[in-house]
Structure 1
Amino acid sequence: MTNVFARFVKDESGATAIEYGLIAALIAVVAIGAMTTVGTNLTAKFQTIADNLGK
């Protein structure tokens, strides 16, 4: 029984998968934030161009 518990404690394959999942989630959050900011700035830029063309 002690041997089974010792192997369970030493097994880190699940922890590695969780770490990769957390890294992927962090990258996704940063990418969404960046795309939102770029989209907002791009919309404002196109609106400025459209306003200037309408004059």
Structure 2
Amino acid sequence: MNAYVTEVMKNKAAALWKEEEGLGTLELILIIGVIIIIALIFKKQITALITSLLSKVDTKSNEFFPNS
């Protein structure tokens, strides 16, 4: 019974990969998932980088518009 279920699942997976219509969507979902995981891993570093960049923008804008 277990071998039969394994064979059926293998055939279903092979049929899924043969249908190329959904592969583009699957690839996009996987890429987005990887990007989200990387963002979660490096959350503190990304936040620090963005804070630093915004601080520099604020400093430079104060040079151009000192009374604002």
TM-score bucket (shorter structure): 0.3 to 0.5
TM-score by length of 2: 0.37
Identify the structure with the greater helix proportion.
1
